[in-house]
Amino acid sequence: MSSSERMAYPYGKPYSTPSNGTQHDENKIWMQIQYEAYVDGIDLTVLPFAKEAIASIASLASSMVNVKEFDFSTSKRVDTHTHPIPDWFRALELNAAGRATPSWNVSAHLKFMSEHHIAHSVLCVSTPQANAFLTERDEVLRKKKTVALARLLNSFTAELCRIYPERFSWLAIMPLPHVEESITELKRVFGEEGKQPVGVGVLTNHEGMYPGDETFDPLWEYLQERSGKVGGDGREVVFVHPTEPIIKLDDGRLINSRPSPLRSGLGEFYFETARAISSLTASSTFLKFPSLHFRISHGAGAFPDISERFLLGFPNISTAAREAYKTRFWYDSAGPVWPNQVKGLTEGMGIPVSQMVFGTDYPYGIGFWDVDANIDGLAWAEELRFEEKEKVFWGNAKELWRGKIAVLDAMEE
């Protein structure tokens, strides 16, 4: 192998001569991930687990689960808030918001879906996404690791959804706060036929920078422009998921700024969600990029409680903001949202049921809250008519992603 080939294929070929079709496909994926990273200037070798990760992606098809083992005959719900967790990502992040990161596999996820009448799940890698190297003091190296991890996580999720298109769709993550590299990543994933994401996922902050920061404007502009060139109705979905609050010190260090000794999943995530919505509002990001639709986690967290007071500080855009909250922000039910917390949205902010979608936070919610009780809170909500519950469970998701998820488009009203 020449020096240029060694740069493009640092892990070489897994098989010298493919002996069958499956092995040929694995070999192709193995080489493709390496080569595309090389073309985009991504150094995968900065991650000690990269070879293991590539191998796991390449082997997804050969270890395919038989979906026919699970009964989806009565399933129609659409779970808009779920997370894949590759083993190598779990090993990197053994703790999630103060709790052990759960294990995950395709078979267990399909079983959960079948048992809860879920026909389709939208996947997005959870916190910290690609921001797993906050303790790395070398900023150049931290950036390289962040960019490389985003590529591997997207490659994993894209391949997973290619194999199980009827059951899974996905949202691409990015190596934020690095905007140029994030746009490069999106151009790559949106350009892969048969593997395209149905939107993007961001955290409430990336290395202390919130989504309304003007630094991110080129990214939102890219998505705004793209929305007018692709199918659907000219919208791009941006999933906003909470993470730990982070601040950057003058010496460049990144530290967790959580003020409470309690783990973040108990409340800080809700405050982070409020900060993210506040950021998108105060910066007028929602006005500058009208084709962006924001998928907000956990019933908007703490934002309903502060929304009226917050908007007093922005009288020139408050009316437009209230309208956007009712038409371009979509709120999921993951967590103990129904039947009580949701009243902050419906009764407090006047958000219509048309903006509510179903979510479970699988598998992170398992063992934290009673998932069955959580779903029943929506299924038995007295204030909703049957037709409205059906909208929340699947109809609104179909509307949000119309033209982007074929399985949802085919669902009958």
Crossing angle of helices 50-58 and 139-163, rounded to 10°: 10
pTM: 0.96
Pair (239, 308) in one structural domain: yes
Digitized pLDDT (tens) for each residue of the chain, 413 residues in all: 677 777 889 998 775 555 555 566 889 999 999 999 999 999 999 999 999 999 999 999 999 999 999 999 999 999 999 999 999 999 999 998 888 999 999 999 999 999 999 999 999 999 999 999 999 999 999 999 999 999 999 999 999 999 999 999 999 999 999 999 999 999 999 998 888 999 999 999 999 999 999 999 999 999 999 998 755 568 999 999 999 999 999 988 999 999 989 999 999 999 999 999 999 999 999 999 999 999 999 999 999 999 999 999 999 999 999 999 999 999 999 999 999 999 999 999 999 999 999 999 999 988 888 889 999 999 999 999 999 999 999 999 999 999 999 999 998 77
Residue range 331-348, pLDDT digits in tens = 999 999 999 999 999 999
Pair (130, 154) in one structural domain: yes
Pair (245, 297) in one structural domain: yes
Pair (248, 395) in one structural domain: yes
- Give φ, ψ of 118 to 5 degrees: -100, 120
CA distances from 222 to 20, 173, 192, 217 (A): 41, 15, 17, 9
Pair (135, 54) in one structural domain: no
Pair (158, 175) in one structural domain: yes
Pair (216, 74) in one structural domain: yes
Pair (20, 87) in one structural domain: no
Please give the pLDDT value at position 84. 98
Q: Which residue, among 359, 296, 404, has the nearest Cα to 113 in the 3D structure? A: 359
Crossing angle of helices 303-311 and 318-327, rounded to 10°: 150
Q: Which two tokens stand for residue 349?
A: 């902010």
Q: Which two tokens stand for residue 180?
A: 């140029």
Burial string for 96-134 (b: 16+ CB within 10 Å, else e) reads: bbeeebbebebeebbebbbebbbbbbbbbbbbbbbbbbb
Q: Is 78 helix (H, G, I), strand (E, B) or coil?
A: strand
Please give the pLDDT value at position 366. 87
Pair (57, 77) in one structural domain: no
Counting the structural domains of the chain, the total is: 2
d(CA 36, CA 40): 6
Please give the pLDDT value at position 21. 55
CA distances from 296 to 32, 86, 301 (A): 34, 24, 9
Q: Which two tokens stand for residue 225?
A: 């422009």
Pair (51, 87) in one structural domain: no
Burial string for 165-180 (b: 16+ CB within 10 Å, else e) reads: eebbbbbbbbbbbbbe
Pair (54, 97) in one structural domain: no
In a 10 Å sphere around its CB, with 0-12 CB exposed, 13-18 middle and 19+ buried, how is residue 293 labelled?
buried
What is the domain extent for residue 317? Answer: 70-409
Q: Which residues pair with 95 in a beta bridge?
A: 100
The CATH number of residue 375's host domain is 3.20.20.140
Pair (157, 256) in one structural domain: yes
d(CA 409, CA 403): 7
Domain's final residue, options 35, 65, 95: 65
Q: DSSP assignment, residue 232? A: S
